[in-house]
């Protein structure tokens, strides 16, 4: 009897549990938003057999939206990325010593012109370039170097070489995905590929004799040996040249923007050097504190810190402590911004400056000359 009662009780308990299971809340992966999520739109799945709207891309559609397409792009661009090995004379010790350094580069022409960083090939006694699919290095010659932008071009002999192409960075946005490729740490077996996003645009730095006024910050891992290698977008186009990192930081690397790199590359090929436009003034970002110290009538703009009276702008009336507020009609608040705009022009171009001189606002037209060597 007791056994029968136990069986009956167990059956009743199971029935109650089954009833409770039928009343639980929907699983958390349902499309119904919780109260804290109702401000965000929620997609409603289409009925079975109804195609999804064309405006909703899926991870497997054409382009670099799929992992396969991304891998295909990397496979296509890899052959144009090279390993560069340099022997140089180190004069920092009591006895000059021949040492070696390595970096990366990217082939931009089928006949062997390679863009890299100046600091990779600086003071080189010999330059060797190893292609991804080759076991023997090519001996390279220096075509030209530009310490100011930290870029250089070397040439290897060859025909029909794999190449990369410059991309259009005018459409590049913070948050866009980018890929850094290069010989990180000089590891054997080919270039290292890392992915990240554009963390910021138009960063400005001065390191040694190099002035970086058009730099892309990226979270893609960049390590020693990456210098000179390409930063590419998801189409495989070069949007920057990986150049430096901040020691001790994580996921903070920098690449010279293609807007600068393309022009430097073309001028190094044509002239062996870069012909930069010149205003004839040392520029400094004006701060409220500096404006107060100098007794200026405005605290916003670009300060003409030193002006060459015989330079292009000085001849037209710009003087020391004048404050430039527009360049060719575009407002400028920082020296780096003005210099970036200036470097987009060519020697001989006429540009308009609007500036405050004391309490008076003035406007002049300046014909740009070539930047003197050593300035």
- In 150-233 the beta strands, taken as DSSP E runs, fall at 151-155, 177-182, 192-207, 210-218, 230-232
Active-site annotation holds for 150: yes
Active-site annotation holds for 149: no
Torsion of CA 40, 44, 45, 47, to 10 degrees: -170
Rounded Cα–Cα distance for residues 20 and 290 (Å): 73
For residues 252 and 219, the answer to whether their CB atoms sit within 8 Å is: yes
Instruction: Mark out the alpha helices in the chain (DSSP H runs).
Output: 2-21, 67-77, 118-121, 258-271, 288-294, 312-315, 335-342
234 contacts: CB under 8 Å, gap ≥ 6? 63, 64, 70, 73, 176, 177, 178, 179
Q: Which two tokens stand for residue 93?
A: 């010790």
In sequence order, what are the beta bridge partners of 306?
282
Q: Within 13 Å of residue 257, how many CA atoms lie on the same side as its CB? A: 24
Q: For residue 287, which of 305, 302, 299 has the smallest C-alpha distance?
A: 299
Active-site annotation holds for 119: yes
Q: What angle do CA 77, 80, 82 make, to 5 degrees?
A: 125
Q: Which two tokens stand for residue 373?
A: 């060597």
The single-letter DSSP state of residue 78 is G
Catalytic residue among 146, 150, 259, 322: 150
Catalytic residue among 102, 119, 149, 336: 119
Rounded Cα–Cα distance for residues 273 and 118 (Å): 12
Q: Which two tokens stand for residue 107?
A: 């082939």
Catalytic residue among 102, 149, 219, 227: 227
Q: Which residues are catalytic?
A: 119, 150, 227
């Amino acid at each position: 009897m007791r056994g029968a009662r136990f069986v009956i009780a167990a059956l009743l308990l199971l029935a109650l549990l089954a009833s409770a299971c039928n009343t639980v809340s929907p699983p958390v992966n349902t499309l119904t938003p919780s109260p804290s999520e109702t401000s965000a739109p929620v997609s409603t799945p289409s009925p079975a057999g109804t195609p999804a709207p064309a405006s909703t891309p899926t991870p497997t559609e054409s382009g670099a939206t799929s992992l396969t397409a991304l891998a295909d792009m990397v496979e296509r661009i890899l052959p144009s990325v090279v390993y560069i090995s340099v022997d140089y004379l180190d004069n920092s010790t009591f006895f000059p010593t021949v040492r070696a350094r390595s970096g990366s580069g990217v082939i931009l022409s089928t006949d062997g012109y390679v863009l890299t960083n100046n600091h990779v090939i600086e003071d080189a006694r010999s330059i060797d370039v190893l292609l991804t699919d080759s076991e023997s290095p090519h001996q390279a010659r220096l075509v030209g170097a530009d310490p100011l932008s930290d870029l250089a071009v070397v040439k290897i002999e060859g025909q029909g070489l794999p190449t990369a192409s410059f991309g259009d960075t005018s459409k590049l946005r913070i948050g866009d995905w980018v890929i850094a490729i290069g010989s990180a740490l000089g590891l054997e077996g080919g270039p290292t590929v890392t992915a990240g996003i554009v963390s910021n645009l138009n960063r400005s730095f001065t390191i040694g004799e190099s002035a970086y006024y058009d730099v892309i910050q990226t979270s893609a891992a960049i390590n020693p040996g990456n210098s000179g290698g390409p930063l590419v977008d998801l189409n495989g186009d070069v949007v920057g040249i990986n150049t430096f990192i901040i020691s001790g930081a994580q996921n903070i690397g920098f690449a010279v923007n293609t807007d600068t790199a393309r022009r430097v590359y073309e001028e190094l090929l044509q002239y062996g050097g870069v012909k930069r436009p010149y205003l004839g003034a040392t520029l400094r970002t004006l701060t409220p504190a500096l404006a107060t110290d100098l007794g200026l009538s405005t605290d916003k703009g670009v300060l003409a810190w030193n002006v060459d009276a015989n330079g292009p702008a000085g001849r037209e009336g710009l003087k020391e402590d004048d404050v430039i507020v527009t360049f060719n009609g575009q407002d400028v608040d920082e020296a780096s911004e003005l210099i970036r705009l200036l470097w987009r022009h060519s020697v001989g171009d006429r540009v308009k400056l609007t500036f405050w001189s004391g309490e008076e606002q003035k406007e002049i037209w300046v014909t740009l000359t070539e930047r003197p060597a050593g300035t």
